[in-house]
A and B are shown apart, each in its own frame.
Chain A
Protein backbone atom coordinates (compact mmCIF):
# COMPACT_ATOMS: atom_id res chain seq x y z
CA UNK A 1 0.00 0.00 0.00
CA UNK A 2 1.01 3.60 -0.60
CA UNK A 3 2.37 5.08 2.67
CA UNK A 4 0.27 7.39 4.82
CA UNK A 5 2.50 10.38 3.96
CA UNK A 6 1.31 10.41 0.35
CA UNK A 7 -2.32 10.70 1.41
CA UNK A 8 -1.52 13.45 3.90
CA UNK A 9 0.47 15.40 1.31
CA UNK A 10 -2.35 15.06 -1.22
CA UNK A 11 -4.80 16.24 1.40
CA UNK A 12 -2.60 19.25 2.16
CA UNK A 13 -2.46 20.17 -1.51
CA UNK A 14 -6.25 19.83 -1.84
CA UNK A 15 -6.81 22.02 1.21
CA UNK A 16 -4.49 24.66 -0.26
CA UNK A 17 -6.45 24.58 -3.54
CA UNK A 18 -9.63 25.10 -1.52
CA UNK A 19 -8.21 28.10 0.35
CA UNK A 20 -6.96 29.53 -2.93
CA UNK A 21 -10.50 29.26 -4.30
CA UNK A 22 -12.01 31.05 -1.31
CA UNK A 23 -9.46 33.87 -1.53
CA UNK A 24 -9.38 34.26 -5.28
CA UNK A 25 -12.78 33.69 -6.82
CA UNK A 26 -15.39 36.38 -7.12
CA UNK A 27 -18.45 34.17 -7.36
CA UNK A 28 -20.35 33.08 -4.24
CA UNK A 29 -21.15 29.63 -5.66
CA UNK A 30 -17.52 28.92 -6.49
CA UNK A 31 -16.49 30.09 -3.03
CA UNK A 32 -18.88 27.51 -1.54
CA UNK A 33 -17.51 24.83 -3.87
CA UNK A 34 -14.02 25.68 -2.60
CA UNK A 35 -15.25 25.15 0.96
CA UNK A 36 -16.45 21.70 -0.14
CA UNK A 37 -12.95 20.98 -1.51
CA UNK A 38 -11.48 21.87 1.89
CA UNK A 39 -13.99 19.66 3.73
CA UNK A 40 -13.07 16.78 1.44
CA UNK A 41 -9.35 17.29 1.97
CA UNK A 42 -9.99 16.94 5.70
CA UNK A 43 -12.16 13.86 5.08
CA UNK A 44 -9.29 12.24 3.20
CA UNK A 45 -7.01 12.88 6.18
CA UNK A 46 -9.53 11.35 8.57
CA UNK A 47 -9.99 8.21 6.48
CA UNK A 48 -6.23 7.78 5.92
CA UNK A 49 -5.31 8.28 9.58
CA UNK A 50 -8.21 6.05 10.69
CA UNK A 51 -6.90 3.33 8.37
CA UNK A 52 -3.40 3.87 9.78
CA UNK A 53 -4.71 3.52 13.33
CA UNK A 54 -6.66 0.40 12.34
CA UNK A 55 -10.04 1.72 13.56
CA UNK A 56 -13.32 2.65 11.88
CA UNK A 57 -13.47 6.00 13.71
CA UNK A 58 -11.97 7.82 10.73
CA UNK A 59 -14.82 6.71 8.49
CA UNK A 60 -17.41 7.57 11.13
CA UNK A 61 -16.17 11.12 11.49
CA UNK A 62 -16.19 11.38 7.68
CA UNK A 63 -19.87 10.48 7.83
CA UNK A 64 -20.51 13.32 10.32
CA UNK A 65 -18.47 15.77 8.22
CA UNK A 66 -20.64 14.88 5.22
CA UNK A 67 -23.77 15.57 7.25
CA UNK A 68 -22.45 18.93 8.32
CA UNK A 69 -21.46 19.67 4.71
CA UNK A 70 -25.01 18.88 3.59
CA UNK A 71 -26.45 21.21 6.23
CA UNK A 72 -23.93 23.90 5.32
CA UNK A 73 -24.75 23.58 1.62
CA UNK A 74 -28.50 23.80 2.26
CA UNK A 75 -28.29 26.88 4.49
CA UNK A 76 -25.51 28.52 2.47
CA UNK A 77 -27.34 28.13 -0.83
CA UNK A 78 -30.53 29.48 0.75
CA UNK A 79 -28.55 32.55 1.83
CA UNK A 80 -27.12 32.86 -1.69
CA UNK A 81 -30.63 32.75 -3.15
CA UNK A 82 -31.85 35.38 -0.66
CA UNK A 83 -28.86 37.61 -1.48
CA UNK A 84 -29.32 37.17 -5.22
CA UNK A 85 -32.93 38.31 -4.88
CA UNK A 86 -31.76 41.60 -3.41
CA UNK A 87 -28.99 42.59 -5.78
CA UNK A 88 -29.10 40.23 -8.79
CA UNK A 89 -25.40 39.49 -8.57
CA UNK A 90 -23.21 36.75 -7.13
CA UNK A 91 -20.12 38.85 -6.69
CA UNK A 92 -18.97 39.00 -3.04
CA UNK A 93 -17.94 42.64 -3.55
CA UNK A 94 -21.60 43.63 -3.89
CA UNK A 95 -22.43 42.51 -0.37
CA UNK A 96 -20.46 44.84 1.88
CA UNK A 97 -23.25 46.35 3.98
CA UNK A 98 -22.00 44.52 7.08
CA UNK A 99 -18.49 45.88 6.56
CA UNK A 100 -17.42 48.22 9.32
Chain B
Protein backbone atom coordinates (compact mmCIF):
# COMPACT_ATOMS: atom_id res chain seq x y z
CA UNK B 1 0.00 0.00 0.00
CA UNK B 2 2.67 2.46 1.04
CA UNK B 3 4.92 1.29 -1.78
CA UNK B 4 2.11 1.89 -4.26
CA UNK B 5 1.55 5.38 -2.82
CA UNK B 6 5.29 6.09 -3.13
CA UNK B 7 5.31 5.10 -6.79
CA UNK B 8 2.18 7.14 -7.56
CA UNK B 9 3.55 10.29 -5.90
CA UNK B 10 6.99 9.76 -7.42
CA UNK B 11 5.39 9.40 -10.87
CA UNK B 12 3.36 12.61 -10.39
CA UNK B 13 6.50 14.47 -9.30
CA UNK B 14 8.75 13.23 -12.10
CA UNK B 15 6.17 13.56 -14.88
CA UNK B 16 5.26 17.05 -13.65
CA UNK B 17 8.91 18.11 -13.58
CA UNK B 18 9.57 16.74 -17.05
CA UNK B 19 6.47 18.58 -18.23
CA UNK B 20 7.85 21.84 -16.78
CA UNK B 21 10.92 21.73 -19.00
CA UNK B 22 9.22 19.92 -21.89
CA UNK B 23 6.79 22.44 -23.31
CA UNK B 24 6.63 25.97 -24.54
CA UNK B 25 4.02 27.89 -22.58
CA UNK B 26 5.42 29.22 -19.25
CA UNK B 27 1.90 29.31 -17.81
CA UNK B 28 1.56 25.54 -18.32
CA UNK B 29 5.06 25.09 -16.88
CA UNK B 30 4.05 26.82 -13.66
CA UNK B 31 0.84 24.76 -13.41
CA UNK B 32 2.76 21.51 -13.96
CA UNK B 33 5.30 22.54 -11.33
CA UNK B 34 2.44 23.03 -8.84
CA UNK B 35 1.24 19.49 -9.69
CA UNK B 36 4.76 18.24 -9.13
CA UNK B 37 4.85 19.99 -5.74
CA UNK B 38 1.60 18.24 -4.83
CA UNK B 39 3.32 14.91 -5.48
CA UNK B 40 6.27 16.00 -3.35
CA UNK B 41 3.91 16.94 -0.51
CA UNK B 42 2.51 13.40 -0.69
CA UNK B 43 6.03 12.01 -0.42
CA UNK B 44 6.64 14.19 2.65
CA UNK B 45 3.51 12.74 4.26
CA UNK B 46 4.87 9.23 3.56
CA UNK B 47 8.10 10.34 5.27
CA UNK B 48 6.21 11.32 8.46
CA UNK B 49 6.78 15.02 7.76
CA UNK B 50 3.30 16.60 7.72
CA UNK B 51 4.78 20.02 8.60
CA UNK B 52 6.97 20.00 5.49
CA UNK B 53 4.07 18.70 3.40
CA UNK B 54 1.78 21.54 4.50
CA UNK B 55 4.43 24.26 4.11
CA UNK B 56 5.22 22.82 0.69
CA UNK B 57 1.60 23.34 -0.36
CA UNK B 58 0.98 26.67 1.37
CA UNK B 59 4.30 28.44 0.82
CA UNK B 60 5.67 26.82 -2.32
CA UNK B 61 2.58 25.99 -4.36
CA UNK B 62 0.52 28.75 -2.78
CA UNK B 63 2.85 31.74 -2.50
CA UNK B 64 5.99 31.31 -4.59
CA UNK B 65 4.24 29.83 -7.60
CA UNK B 66 1.58 32.54 -7.51
CA UNK B 67 4.45 35.05 -7.67
CA UNK B 68 5.70 33.26 -10.78
CA UNK B 69 2.19 33.25 -12.26
CA UNK B 70 1.89 36.99 -11.62
CA UNK B 71 5.11 37.66 -13.49
CA UNK B 72 4.16 35.36 -16.38
CA UNK B 73 0.84 37.19 -16.74
CA UNK B 74 2.40 40.63 -16.19
CA UNK B 75 4.95 40.13 -18.94
CA UNK B 76 2.37 38.45 -21.17
CA UNK B 77 5.13 35.95 -21.77
CA UNK B 78 2.95 33.05 -22.88
CA UNK B 79 3.83 33.99 -26.42
CA UNK B 80 7.40 32.72 -26.49
CA UNK B 81 8.89 33.73 -29.81
CA UNK B 82 8.87 30.70 -32.11
CA UNK B 83 12.25 29.46 -33.18
CA UNK B 84 13.20 27.11 -35.99
CA UNK B 85 15.38 25.27 -33.51
CA UNK B 86 12.42 24.43 -31.33
CA UNK B 87 12.40 24.61 -27.55
CA UNK B 88 16.07 24.10 -27.04
CA UNK B 89 18.97 26.47 -26.93
CA UNK B 90 21.23 25.66 -29.86
CA UNK B 91 24.86 25.47 -28.74
CA UNK B 92 24.59 24.31 -25.18
CA UNK B 93 21.85 21.80 -25.97
CA UNK B 94 23.88 18.67 -26.54
CA UNK B 95 26.18 19.36 -23.59
CA UNK B 96 23.15 20.01 -21.38
CA UNK B 97 21.57 16.69 -22.30
CA UNK B 98 24.84 14.82 -21.79
CA UNK B 99 25.59 16.48 -18.45
CA UNK B 100 22.12 15.92 -16.98
CA UNK B 101 21.86 12.32 -18.14
CA UNK B 102 25.32 11.65 -16.70
CA UNK B 103 24.28 13.34 -13.45
CA UNK B 104 21.14 11.19 -13.18
CA UNK B 105 23.05 7.99 -13.94
CA UNK B 106 25.77 8.88 -11.46
CA UNK B 107 23.32 9.73 -8.67
CA UNK B 108 21.24 6.58 -9.16
CA UNK B 109 24.37 4.42 -9.49
CA UNK B 110 25.94 5.85 -6.34
CA UNK B 111 22.72 5.33 -4.38
CA UNK B 112 22.25 1.79 -5.65
CA UNK B 113 25.72 0.96 -4.27
CA UNK B 114 24.39 1.49 -0.75
CA UNK B 115 22.68 -1.45 0.83
CA UNK B 116 18.95 -1.00 1.43
CA UNK B 117 18.66 1.58 4.20
CA UNK B 118 15.45 0.88 6.09
CA UNK B 119 13.70 3.56 8.11
CA UNK B 120 13.33 3.10 11.84
CA UNK B 121 9.56 2.81 12.18
CA UNK B 122 9.58 3.59 15.90
CA UNK B 123 10.84 7.18 15.56
CA UNK B 124 7.94 8.27 13.33
CA UNK B 125 5.91 9.83 16.12
CA UNK B 126 8.82 11.90 17.39
CA UNK B 127 9.88 13.15 13.95
CA UNK B 128 6.41 14.11 12.74
CA UNK B 129 5.58 16.17 15.84
CA UNK B 130 5.14 19.86 15.01
CA UNK B 131 5.79 20.67 18.68
CA UNK B 132 9.28 19.18 18.39
CA UNK B 133 9.93 21.14 15.20
CA UNK B 134 8.84 24.37 16.86
CA UNK B 135 10.94 23.74 19.94
CA UNK B 136 14.02 22.97 17.86
CA UNK B 137 13.41 25.93 15.55
CA UNK B 138 13.11 28.49 18.34
CA UNK B 139 15.87 27.17 20.61
CA UNK B 140 18.68 25.36 18.75
CA UNK B 141 18.11 27.15 15.45
CA UNK B 142 16.95 30.49 16.83
CA UNK B 143 19.87 32.40 15.32
CA UNK B 144 19.29 30.96 11.85
CA UNK B 145 15.59 31.77 12.21
CA UNK B 146 16.35 35.43 13.00
CA UNK B 147 18.90 35.59 10.18
CA UNK B 148 16.14 34.36 7.87
CA UNK B 149 13.97 37.35 8.76
CA UNK B 150 16.81 39.68 7.74
CA UNK B 151 17.20 37.73 4.49
CA UNK B 152 13.50 38.19 3.75
CA UNK B 153 13.75 41.92 4.51
CA UNK B 154 16.75 42.30 2.19
CA UNK B 155 15.00 40.33 -0.56
CA UNK B 156 11.88 42.48 -0.19
CA UNK B 157 13.82 45.75 -0.44
CA UNK B 158 15.90 44.33 -3.29
CA UNK B 159 12.84 43.27 -5.26
CA UNK B 160 11.24 46.70 -4.85
CA UNK B 161 14.42 48.52 -5.91
CA UNK B 162 15.05 46.24 -8.90
CA UNK B 163 11.52 46.26 -10.29
CA UNK B 164 11.01 50.02 -9.80
CA UNK B 165 10.68 52.16 -12.89
CA UNK B 166 13.50 54.66 -13.24
CA UNK B 167 12.37 58.23 -13.47
Contacts and interface: CB of A to CB of B under 8 A. Distances in A.
Q: Do A and B come from one complex?
A: yes
Contact of B33 (A33, A54, A75, A89): A33
A100 B108 CA distance: 37
Nearest to B21: A21
Given A4-B119, A24-B97, A43 B52 contact: yes
Contact of B20 (A34, A66, A89): A34
Interface of B: 2-3, 6, 10, 13-14, 17-18, 20-21, 26, 29-30, 33, 36-37, 40, 43-44, 46-49, 51-52, 55-56, 59-60, 63-64, 67-68, 71-72, 74-75, 77, 80-81, 83, 87-89, 92-93, 95-97, 99-101, 103-104, 106-108, 111-112, 114, 116-121, 123, 126-127, 129, 132-133, 136-137, 141, 144, 148, 151-152, 154-156, 158-160, 162-163, 165
Interface of A: 1-27, 29-30, 32-34, 36-37, 40, 43-44, 47-48, 50-52, 54-60, 62-64, 66-75, 77-82, 84-85, 89-93
Contacts of B55: 62-63, 66
A6 B6 contact: yes
10 contacts: A17-B104, A20-B97, A21-B20, A23-B100, A30-B26, A51-B127, A52-B119, A80-B71, A84-B75, A90-B77
Given A54-B123, A66-B60, A69-B64, A92 B89 contact: yes
Given A62-B49, A69-B60, 19 more contacts: A1-B2, A2-B6, A12-B111, A17-B18, A21-B20, A24-B87, A25-B21, A29-B72, A29-B77, A30-B26, A40-B36, A54-B120, A56-B127, A58-B49, A59-B127, A74-B158, A77-B71, A78-B163, A82-B162
